[in-house]
Structure 1
Amino acid sequence: MRIRRVVTTREGGASTAPYDSFNLGDHVGDDPAAVTANRDRLARELGLPADHLVWMEQVHGRTVGVVDGPVPDKLEATDAVVTATTGLALVVLVADCVPVLLADPEAGVVGAVHAGRVGARVGVVPAALKAMVEAGADVDRVEVLLGPSICGECYEVPQDMQTDVERHLPGTACRTRKGTPGLDLRAGLWRQLADAGVAKIGIDPRCTNEERTLFSHRREGTTGRLAAVTWVEP
């Protein structure tokens, strides 16, 4: 089976500043009509019906939704979603958090995870991996993409926060470019996935804080959201 993965940028949409212009988040204060136009465009560009995109109400938790068909509106209070249904695209929205796209191409099972500091700390990625296995995936076959997010050199946090996250997600603690305590969530997630038996892990190296074609909450405060999308082609 062919697995598709797409990561959007902020360019080419209908939204105006500070959401300019391809904002896909409907919870950040943008004009709803612009968000709808952007989401419709995303579906067209992916070659999928708009109702075959599955959206989540992301709350920085570890709840995993498992879906087998289109979802009206969005999954409430959910930060990971899994499906074994072809042609159903799973969407995660970010503006510094790590979008994690998982797939077992042989079983035709895919997952999309919103892994910010809080969600990563409480184990949202292992929870998604468990749900994938229950849906027929095999950890030995799972492939993962850790999408663009804020890098460790930019993600400055208080020392006690760094210590706490490192205790729950080893490999995350780092030093920022200024020499202060920092968090590299992708490094911690990579280690967590490897320890779980996942052998194929790719990383999109772009930092949302540094790359101006991407949305960054830390850089801009009020801003839009980019999307990371995965699905199994029919």
Structure 2
Amino acid sequence: MFWWQTQAGDGLTVAFTNTEAGNLALHVGDDPARVLQRRAALETAMGVPGGSLRFMNQIHSADVALAAGETSSAAGPTADALVSPDGRAPLAVMVADCVPVVLAGRKPDGGLVTAAAHAGRKGLLGGILANTVDRMQAAGADGIRAWIGPAVCGLCYEVPESMLEEAAGQMPELRSRTRAGTPALDLPAGAEAQLTALGVSALRVGGCTLESADLYSHRRSSSAGRFAGLVWLS
């Protein structure tokens, strides 16, 4: 169920699911009842209360929402990053080639602020990670750490030359080439560079969604499901 998982200290767990957890998205044509069953099974595996895991209605924006209250609707708020100001809400970000980023920072009183962000090409260039860090800092977070999950790699994310030049002109770290020498974008490298510039300590978990059958990839199949990046307190 978990493709990668780590205990990050202070009772914090960071993980990324795999295809064994099944599709977790409601927007890809899957049976909603089965999706909700998988989400419930995931919550059980995480050890969190049923209905407490927060999802988003992701639209490739740079918008950040706050996780408030004990539970949320199945779809969640329309945003591409979700921040828990006290770290208590288990957070999820769904992807199938874009970059899942989960973050955590400490408050002066010892409490935590956590976040989950969906960083695709549009979101990266639009400032989703900077906006997420800003919102975390506004909630009192310092010493922010980030975990960059599996995404389509810079050797696989082929794009038109014009798109490469436009994106790399704004964020040079995105510039890449496929193994065949065609233009490509390296989204994880761009995410890491942006986080580092924001003063965030970032760990790249690695893994290419297009190359790994254990992960969903929209580029490999347009009907692909979505796996999740997760952050929660035990």
Q: TM-score, normalized by length of structure 2? A: 0.90
Query: Are positions 1:112 and 2:109 aligned together?
Result: no
Cα separation, 2, equivalents of 1:145 and 1:207: 15
The partner residue of 1:187 within 182, 186, 189 is 189
3-state DSSP of counterpart to 2:91 = strand
CA distance in structure 2 between the aligned counterparts of 1:146 and 1:224, rounded to whole angstroms: 20
Q: How does 1:1-234 map to 2 (within 5 A)?
A: 1-11=10-20, 13=21, 22-69=22-69, 70-105=71-106, 106-138=110-142, 141-198=143-200, 200-233=201-234
Structure 1, gaps ≥5 residues long: 14-21
Kept in 1, the 8 Å contact 2:176–2:183? The answer is yes
Structure 2 vs 1, CA of residues 87 and 196 (structure 1 numbering), >3 Å: closer, same or farther?
closer
Which structure 1 residue ranges, 4+ long, deviate > 6 Å from structure 2?
none
- Can you list the C-alpha shifts for 1:95-139, whole angstroms capped at 9, x where unaligned? 00000011114440011000111111111000000000001101x
**More displaced stretch, 212-221 vs 78-87:** 78-87
User: Which secondary structure does the structure 2 equivalent of 1:166 belong to?
Assistant: helix
Residues 217 and 224 of structure 2 are in contact (CA less than 8 Å); yes or no, is this contact kept in structure 1? yes
Distance 2:185 2:227 in 1: 21
Give the Cα separation in 2 of the matches to 1:53 and 1:95. 19
Aligned residue pairs, count = 221
| Separation in structure 1 between the aligned mates of residue 165 and residue 156 of structure 2, nearest angstrom | 17
- 1:93 aligned partner, one-letter code: M
Between 127-136 and 162-171, the greater mean CA deviation after superposition: 162-171
2:101 aligned counterpart, secondary structure? strand
Higher strand share: 2
The more displaced of 57-66 and 27-36 is 27-36
- Counterpart Cα distance in 2 of 1:223 and 1:168: 30
What is the CA-CA distance between 1:190 and the residue it aligns to? 0.8
Query: If the length of structure 1 is used for normalisation, what is the TM-score?
Result: 0.90
Alpha-carbon contact 1:65-1:75 (below 8 Å) kept: no
Residue deviations 1:174-205 (CA, integer Å, cap 9, x gap): 1111101100011111111111112x211111
Q: Distance in 2 between matches of 1:109 and 1:163?
A: 36
Distance across 2 between alignment mates of 1:112 and 1:157:
26
Gaps of 5+ in 2: 1-9
Q: Distance in 2 between matches of 1:202 and 1:165?
A: 23
Q: What letter matches 1:189 in structure 2?
A: A
SS at match of 2:93: strand
Amino acid corresponding to residue 227 of structure 1 in structure 2: A
User: Which residue does the alignment assign to 2:3?
Assistant: none
